[in-house]
Amino acid sequence: MAVLVIVAGAGFILWDMHRLDRDFSNLHSILKSARLDTIFRDTTIVVNFNDKIVTVTDQKDQTSFTATIPTMGKVAYDTTIGKDMIVYTWRGTSDYNKKVHGGEIVLKSLLGFRRYIHVNCNGMVREGRYPEDASPH
């Protein structure tokens, strides 16, 4: 019985970490695609975060899509036109950022594991903390 509990516990930890990594990859891909679209399609893209839902809207043709990111924790990215959003233009995000260098998004698993995505003023998407916010969440 003890072996079953240990195996089940290990399996749950692995599932939780896999779920966090999957969500990280999905969100990272969404943000990179939004940035590339602004460059190659000459448009403005707004990525809006509402709880666990990410909505990406192309301002040129008003098309949008939504994705659910179950491990979405905290969005520390605010713009001059609204909170919890990123506005990409062909120049990056700096035209609308409240913080000069951008901000970060925290993904948090059920067991408390965390992954961070930092989007800088050029619109580059990176894993890691926002440089000025090195304090734990």
**pLDDT, mean of residues 28-42:** 94
Instruction: Give the pLDDT of residue 107.
Output: 97
pLDDT reported for residue 137: 47
24: nearest Cα among 118, 103, 124, 122: 118
Residue 66 phi, psi (nearest 5): -120, 155
Minimal CA–CA distance to 49: which of 19, 82, 17? Answer: 82
Predicted model pTM? 0.88
CA dist 13 to 2, 6, 7, 112, Å?
17, 11, 10, 11
Q: What percent of the chain has pLDDT over 70?
A: 95
* Domain 2-127 -> CATH class: alpha beta
**How is residue 43 written in tokens?**
């448009």
Work out the pLDDT band at 80, boundaries 50, 70, 90.
very high
Domain limits, the chain: 2-127
